[in-house]
């Protein structure tokens, strides 16, 4: 039915490439992946092929950014126009430790 | 080719019917008209209405333009340009592929007129009338383009589970297939938020989410209801409500919520750029 594919980025980059849609149905899968990424250093989420994200997904991103607690920035890479707007309204782009590129 | 323009419609119909070896009744059936009407056409006692032209032309194996050249079917006063526009170009405000096909049509019509004039098939007087007609249709059509999106309404009841937001988005993508990308993406986000809220906070029995999507003229409206006539019994409160509503408040042209006959309803509207307006 609904699909989210999460692929680890190629080292030395840490993070994930997200393909598909992130909402309440796929957020658990996303959170599980994030738990595996709690190393030090920058973590990148490549959002270029994430065709949809709503507040369910953005809350998970915000929570993860907070939980990193200074362990290097969380980089949100290439969100779609609508995702970028949602990120701005959520104030994620101004949150300490979060970079939107 | 040169003879084509001097054969009357009645003769053409008879010729075609002979070719196919069928009766008047059979021809009438193929053209989707009453047999009497068809007989009157062959007797030149009546002329087909504009909404029949395309079917007749294709049955005869010619273009509508070619068919009209031979006949006095078009006179500015009686033909009713509105009918021509309606039958030949489909529905207004629909199909983004339309413009390409349409400009082709007008270009093709002009070419035919030019060719016909050159070869002597069309008198210059005829050519003048036809050019006038093509221009009128084109003008009427461009007015229609900016008129409205096709009115649509879709109601759906979704099981209130984690898949409901996706189901609502799918329905919206279907209804809004022609809507420009930007407002559609916004609508998908806002609908997803309202459905998520309804799933998280709505009554657990019966556990459904009501979805109403409508497009009218230049407004897309999405209405989400908890689908229960009973008073809402909040489920375990999860995260989500606040931010989702912030998106709605920021991005919707208008929105609101309330209780209607015991059902919680939240809605939003997005103003759409009119079809035919400068693309985003």
Write down the ipTM of this complex: 0.93
Per-residue pLDDT, B143:
62
User: Which residue out of B224, B240, B251 would a mutagenesis test of the A interface target, given it has the greatest number of A Cβ atoms within 10 Å?
Assistant: B240
User: What distance in Å separates the CA atoms of residue B145 and residue B75, rounded to the nearest whole number?
Assistant: 25
Partner A, chain B 92-111, Cβ-Cβ below 8 Å: none
Q: How confident is the model at residue B96 (pLDDT cuts 50, 70, 90)?
A: very low
Subunit contact B192:A25, Cβ cutoff 8 A: no
Chain A residues with CB inside 8 Å of B243's CB? 55, 58-59, 90
Asked if pLDDT for residue B5 goes beyond 50, the answer is no
* Closest CA–CA distance from residue A56 to any residue of chain B (Å): 6
Asked if pLDDT for residue B94 goes beyond 50, the answer is no
Per-residue pLDDT, B103:
65
Q: What count of other Cβ atoms lies within 10 Å of the Cβ of residue B61?
A: 11
Chain A residues with CB inside 8 Å of B247's CB? 54-55, 86, 89
Between B214 and B277, name the one with better pLDDT.
B214
Of residues A101, A40, A30, the one with CA closest to residue A62: A30
Subunit contact B185:A82, Cβ cutoff 8 A: yes
Per-residue pLDDT, B216:
85
User: Which residue out of A56, A62, A88 would a mutagenesis test of the B interface target, given it has the greatest number of B Cβ atoms within 10 Å?
Assistant: A56
A52 CB near a chain B CB, below 8 Å?
yes
Chain B residues with CB inside 8 Å of A81's CB? 182, 185
Per-residue pLDDT, A33:
92
Look up tokens 């003008």; give the residue.
Answer: B139
Which residue in B has a C-alpha nearest to residue A21's C-alpha? Answer: B166
Q: What's the rounded mean pLDDT across residues B74-102? A: 37
Per-residue pLDDT, B228:
52
For B32-84, write each residue's pLDDT tens digit: 888 888 888 888 777 787 777 778 888 888 776 666 655 555 443 333 333 33
- DSSP for chain B? -GGGGGS-HHHHHHHHHHHHT--HHHHHHHTTS-HHHHHHHHTTSS---HHHHHHHHHHHTS-HHHHHHHS----HHHH-HHHHHHHHH-STT--TTHHHHHHHHHHHHHHHHHHHHHHTSS-HHHHHHHHHHHHHHHHHHHHHHTT-EEEEEEEEEEESSTTHHHHHHHHHHHHTTTS-HHHHHHHHHHHHHHHHHHHHHS-SSS-EEEEEEEEEETEEEEEEE---SSPP---S--S-HHHHHHHHHHH-SEEEEEEETTEEEEEEEEEPPPTTSPP-
Chain A residues with CB inside 8 Å of B240's CB? 24, 55-56, 59
Q: Which of A1, A56, A89 sits opposite B250 (nearest CB)?
A: A89
Subunit contact B196:A56, Cβ cutoff 8 A: yes
Which residue in A has a C-alpha nearest to residue B184's C-alpha? Answer: A82
Asked if pLDDT for residue B277 goes beyond 60, the answer is no
Per-residue pLDDT, A5:
95
Look up tokens 């006692």; give the residue.
Answer: B45
Q: What's the rounded mean pLDDT across residues B135-153? A: 72
B159 CB near a chain A CB, below 8 Å?
no
Which residue in A has a C-alpha nearest to residue B163's C-alpha? Answer: A25
Which residue in A has a C-alpha nearest to residue B196's C-alpha? Answer: A24
Chain A residues with CB inside 8 Å of B182's CB? 81-82
B243 CB near a chain A CB, below 8 Å?
yes
Q: How confident is the model at residue B123 (pLDDT cuts 50, 70, 90)?
A: confident
User: Which residue out of B162, B180, B201, B202 would a mutagenesis test of the A interface target, given it has the greatest number of A Cβ atoms within 10 Å?
Assistant: B162
Regions of chain A where pLDDT drops below 70: 1-2, 38
User: Kind and range of the H or E element at A18?
Assistant: strand A15-22
Which residue in B has a C-alpha nearest to residue A92's C-alpha? Answer: B243
User: Kind and range of the H or E element at A64?
Assistant: helix A55-68
User: What distance in Å separates the CA atoms of residue B153 and residue B171, rounded to the nearest whole number?
Assistant: 11
Asked if pLDDT for residue B229 goes beyond 60, the answer is no
Per-residue pLDDT, B258:
81
For B186-197, write each residue's pLDDT tens digit: 999 999 999 998
Tokens encoding B121? 């098939």
**Proportion of chain B above pLDDT 90, given as a percent:** 24
Partner residues linked to B156 by β-bridges = B211
Q: How confident is the model at residue B276 (pLDDT cuts 50, 70, 90)?
A: low
Q: How confident is the model at residue B145 (pLDDT cuts 50, 70, 90)?
A: low
* Closest CA–CA distance from residue A36 to any residue of chain B (Å): 22
């Amino acid at each position: 039915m609904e699909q989210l594919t999460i692929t680890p980025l190629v080292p030395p980059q840490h993070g994930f490439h997200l393909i598909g849609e992130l909402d309440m149905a796929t957020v658990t899968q996303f959170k599980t992946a994030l738990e595996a990424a709690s190393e030090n250093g920058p973590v990148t989420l490549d959002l270029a092929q994430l065709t949809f994200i709503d507040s369910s997904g953005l809350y998970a991103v915000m929570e993860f950014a907070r939980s990193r607690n200074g362990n290097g920035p969380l980089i949100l890479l290439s969100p779609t126009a609508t995702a970028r707007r949602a990120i701005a309204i959520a104030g994620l782009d101004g949150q300490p430790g979060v970079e939107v590129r | 080719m040169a003879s084509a323009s001097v054969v009357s419609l009645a003769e053409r119909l008879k010729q075609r019917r002979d070719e196919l070896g069928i009766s008047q009744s059979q021809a009438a059936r193929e053209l989707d008209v009453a047999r009497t009407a068809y007989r009157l056409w062959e007797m030149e006692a009546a002329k087909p209405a504009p909404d029949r032209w395309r079917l007749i032309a294709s049955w005869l194996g010619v273009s509508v333009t070619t068919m009209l050249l031979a006949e006095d079917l078009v006179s500015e006063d009686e033909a009713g340009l509105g009918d021509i526009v309606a039958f030949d170009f489909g529905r207004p405000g629909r199909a983004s592929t339309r413009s390409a096909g349409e400009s082709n049509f007008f270009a093709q019509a002009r070419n035919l007129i030019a060719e016909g004039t050159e070869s002597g098939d069309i008198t210059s007087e005829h050519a003048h009338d036809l050019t006038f007609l093509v221009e009128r249709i084109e003008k009427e059509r461009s007015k229609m383009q900016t008129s409205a999106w096709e009115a649509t309404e879709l109601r759906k009841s979704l099981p209130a589970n984690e898949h409901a937001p996706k189901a609502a988005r799918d329905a919206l993508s279907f209804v809004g297939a022609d809507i420009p990308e930007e407002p559609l993406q916004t609508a998908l986000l806002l609908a997803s938020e309202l459905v998520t809220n309804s799933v998280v906070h709505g009554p657990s029995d019966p556990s459904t989410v009501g979805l109403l999507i409508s497009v009218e003229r230049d407004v897309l409206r999405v209405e989400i209801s908890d689908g229960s006539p009973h008073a809402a019994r909040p489920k375990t409160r999860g995260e989500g409500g606040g931010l989702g509503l912030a998106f709605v408040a920021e991005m919707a042209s208008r929105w609101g919520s309330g209780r209607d006959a015991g059902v919680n309803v939240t809605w939003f509207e997005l103003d759409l750029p009119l079809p035919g307006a400068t693309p985003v």
